[in-house]
Structure 1
Amino acid sequence: MATLNSSVACSSSNQRGIVKAAINIPRRVTNISLPGLRTGGLVEEMELHRSAEKQLSPVKISTIKRNEDNGPDPVVTAKLYAILEAVADRVEMHKNIGDQRANWNSLLLISINSLTLAAATMAGIAAISGRAPAVAMKLSSTSLYVAATGILSIMNKIQPSQLAEEQRNAVRLFKQLQNQIQTIISIGNPTVVDVKEMMEKVLTLDKAYPLPLMGAMLEKFPEKVEPAVWWPEQRRKQSKGNTGYNGWNGKLEEEMREIVKVIRIKDKEDYLRLGTKALNLNKVLAVAGPVLTGLAAVGSALVGTPSHGSWAVVLGVVGGALASVVNTLEHGWQVGMVFEMYRSNAGFFKLMEESIESNLREEERERRENGEVFEMKVGLQLGRSLSQLRDLAAAAAVKGEDNEEFASKLF
């Protein structure tokens, strides 16, 4: 009996232990899990919501990465590409118009010389013909001379060969600008300053080499020869954040000062002198051609009159022949094109002069273009190696204005 009671007590105690364990387990789950979810639920839900948005929005993630990596601004890059497209279009426009104006020069020269020689021939025939044929020949000769005088006056005013040279220069400079923009995009991280600078260069080139003739054409017979200018004003460069060595030192600065002196005294002045000679020659020829055809027209109209005799015949025939020679010299040899070439070359040296001086004027060397790169650019533009460039600067420092060597070996 005692044994039975003890076993019952054990089983009841075990059952009580099992029941207690079953009751304690839910109580622990309730105490740990449920209150924890309610106290931190709002913050955790917000964090989960944000992380879900980042995972579902790749655009926002890429934007954040660009800003963190300090990458290129897509708007700035788009603007540079827009400028690049406009520059490429201008290259084609100037090329096509340049070819057209070169054809003008050839066709107008052939046409005017044909009119002039035909008029001279008719004036000679009228002098030896009978009365009735002479009148017809005289009228035809005079009409051709008048037409040749009018067309030649217009041709001498616009100078087609000079216009063609202007467009060739514009094509070269716009291609150069196109390469500069492509380099900026390739290097990466362009800025708003780059966009503004490229815009100014495009507009300055448009002004320097205009496409239309009426109202915008460059002066073909200026009072004084000035170098062509196709670049905006040199401004102070922004600091690139490099406070260390920028390639500049006292020796390089002195070298650049001597090279500027040579460019100013020798190269630029020489091309301005040659440009003045070409301009003066072109002025004489431009006036002589219409004058000779005009006198020949008067002479042909007076052929056969007793009061003037043989002088009218000489003026009508010889005047036309001389006019053809003058026209061939002016437009066949393209004197206007030669003048524009000299003016453009002088502008090239003026640009080099301003570029070097703008760097030397900047006292903060970190704002300058890198000295080693700049020295290499100057050498390439002058057709010299770095050693030849330094030898030129050394010779100029010793001889001064007595130095006979030009800076450029290209032209």
Structure 2
Amino acid sequence: MAAIQSSSFLCSQRGITKAAINIPKVNLNSVALPKLKNARVFVQDVEVKRSHGYTRTITEKSAHACDPVVMEKLYAIMDAVADRVEMHKNICAQRANWNSLLLTSINTITLSAATMAGIAATSTIGCPVLALKVSSTLMYLAATGMLVIMNKIQPSQLAEEQRNATRLCKLLHNQIQTMIAIGNPTAHDVDEAMEKVLAIDKAFPLPLLGKMIEKFPSSVEPTVWWPKHKRGQAQGIQRSNGNGWSEKMEEEMREIVSVVNKNDKADYLRLGEKALKINKVMAVAGPLLTGLAAVGSAFVGSPSHGSWAAVLGVAAGALASVVNSLEHGGQVGMVVELYRSNAGFFKQMEEDIEFTLSETDVDRRENGELFEMKVALNLGRSLSELRDLATSSRRSKGDDFEEFGSKLF
């Protein structure tokens, strides 16, 4: 006891306090951890960063949830779609640069040639006049050739095609992600995803030679970027009580199809026809004016032709630059493609609704409540607004109903 007291006294003198804690030994082998019951599916979200900042989130599942071969195929399609997103995005930027660079170059050449023709018309010395005339004529001919090529390919329209393809590929990528997240994808889902990828490739081709979409068709048709509908397994959430469908909802969907077809799609096709006619006139007028300016500049200073050659060489060149600026600076080709794609959006909606309603077995349809919500979102309306639209169309009997179905665009 005296030894313990002396030890405590020495520790207190040094200002040190010691404490001893005895921890009982635990045998880890004897500890029973709780087991997770019915944990058949393990889900993990992985973010994979691709080039140019594009990110995709993959939902991985164990092989107990579905066929691993099906999952591997879906992931392969997702990788291909993500790569297409980058390709279309890069080519869109390239073709937008074509439009701006060619427009600037052609206008610069045209105005320079007009200036040379004007100077040559006011000069009286032989050699300088000849040099100016030759230079002006050659520049006009070069501008004519470049303008013919530019009007043929319509770079602004090509860029808009790639923008649409980028958006649709991103949408398809997200749809495949949702399919995997919901679970149990089948071989039918793989085939459907493949068909969608190939349909987008066909609607918006990457190469120019041999596969470029006709830029001056006889009439404007909606762009089609989806495969033909085929009967398959029911998609989406299914419930009892008619799978969310009723006779009233079917009538509402038919009224929506009627409104979209008669008003929205028809209006965009009409506007597309007008934009196409304007584009055709400008595509012919631009090279024609530069060609006439080249002829006029070649005869500048000739006594037998008077002053009309100088007027033609200068005025036609200036007018050609104005027409070229309106056509490609205003991106009339892009407007045509925009109207075509908008009409295609409504055509796709029309076909989806008609295909769903044509299925007599409601249990094989997509759930009615989910389908109605998708239609409302695509039209930029709430569910109540969508039903009011169908009711108003039914009351007017569809003859003089002028309200558009879409509030989105």
**TM-score of the pair, normalised by structure 2:** 0.83
1:101-122 CA-partner distances (Å, limit 9, x unpaired)? 0000000000000000000000
CA-CA distance at 1:333 after TM superposition: 0.3
What residue number does 1:82 align with?
76
| Maintained 8 Å contact 2:272/2:336 | yes
Residue 390 of structure 1 pairs with residue 387 of structure 2: yes
Indicate which of 397, 400, 403 corresponds to 1:402: 400
Q: Does 1:286 align with 2:283?
A: yes
Amino acid at match of 1:219: E
Give, in whole Å, the separation in 2 of the partners of 1:245 and 1:139. Answer: 80
For residues 103-122 of structure 1, the aligned pairs below 5 Å read: 103-122=97-116
Quote the Cα distance in structure 2 between the aligned partners of 1:187 and 1:258: 31
Corresponding residue for residue 139 of structure 1: 134
Q: Name the SS of the counterpart of 1:228 in structure 2.
A: coil
User: How many residues matched?
Assistant: 345
| Letter in structure 2 aligned against 1:303 | V
Shift of 1:239: 4.5
| Residue in 2 that maps onto 1:175 | 170
Given that 1:244 and 1:366 are in contact with CA atoms closer than 8 Å, whether structure 2 keeps it comes out as no
Once the two structures are TM-superposed, the CA of residue 303 in structure 1 deviates from its matched residue by: 0.6
Alpha-carbon distance in structure 2 between the residues aligned to 1:239 and 1:371? 12
* Matched residue, 1:360: 357
> Shift of the alpha carbon at 1:70?
6.8
CA contact (8 A) 2:85 2:170 kept: yes
Q: Distance in 2 between matches of 1:242 and 1:180?
A: 21
- Contact 2:234–2:366, Cα closer than 8 Å, also in 1: no
Distance 1:310 1:236 in 2: 73
Rounded to whole Å, the distance in 2 between the matches of 1:77 and 1:383 is 34
1:235 is displaced (CA, Å) by: 1.4
Counterpart of 2:101, as a letter, is L
Equivalent of 1:192 in 187, 196, 217:
187
- Cα shift readout 1:196-228 (whole Å, capped 9, x = no counterpart): 000000001000000000000000000011000
Q: Which of residues 252, 264, 269 in structure 2 aligns to 1:267?
A: 264
CA shift, 1:306, in A, is 1.4
The answer to whether structure 1 residue 323 and structure 2 residue 320 are counterparts is yes
Partner of 1:152: 147
Q: Spell out the pairing of 1:228-377 with structure 2 (5 A cutoff).
A: 228-239=223-234, 245-377=242-374
CA distance, structure 1, for counterparts of residue 340 and residue 399 of structure 2? 23
The residue type paired with residue 305 of structure 1 is: S
Structure 2 portions without partners, runs of 5+: 1-39, 41-62
Matches of 2:120 and 2:176, distance apart in 1: 66
Amino acid at match of 2:369: E
Shift of 1:404: 1.4
1:71, distance to aligned residue in structure 2 (A) = 2.5
Alignment partner of 2:399: what SS?
helix
Decide which structure has greater helix share: 1
Q: Secondary structure at the match of 2:305?
A: coil
Residues 237 and 368, structure 1, Cα contact 8 Å, conserved in 2: no
Aligned to 2:54: none
Q: Match of 1:145, SS? A: helix
C-alpha distance in structure 1 between counterparts of 2:278 and 2:203, whole Å: 24
**CA RMSD in angstroms, aligned pairs only:** 1.5
Look up the equivalent residue of 2:136 and give its one-letter code. Answer: S
Greater C-alpha Rg: 1
Aligned match for 1:217, one of 212, 216, 220 = 212
SS at 1:245 equivalent: helix
Residue 237 of structure 1 deviates from its aligned partner by: 3.0
Does the CA-based 8 Å contact 1:161-1:331 persist in structure 2? Answer: yes
Letter in 1 for 2:96: A
Name 1:49's counterpart in structure 2.
Answer: none
> Structure 1, residues 81-134: CA drift from partner, whole Å, max 9, x if none?
000000000000000000000000000000000000000000001111121110
TM-aligned CA deviation for residue 304 of structure 1: 1.1
1:100 lines up with 2:94 in the alignment = yes
1:62-83 CA distance string (max 9 Å, x none):
9xxxxxx972100000000000
Give the gaps of 5 or more residues in structure 1.
1-61, 63-68
CA distance change for structure 1 residues 96 and 239 in 2, over 3 Å: closer, same or farther? closer
1:382 is displaced (CA, Å) by: 0.2
The SS at the match of 1:248 is coil
Q: Taking structure 1 as the reference length, what is the TM-score of the superposition? A: 0.82
Q: Percent identity?
A: 70
Query: Which residue type is aligned with residue 410 of structure 1?
Result: L
2-structure distance, mates of 1:185, 1:118: 60
What is the deviation of 1:242? 6.8
1:158, distance to aligned residue in structure 2 (A): 0.1
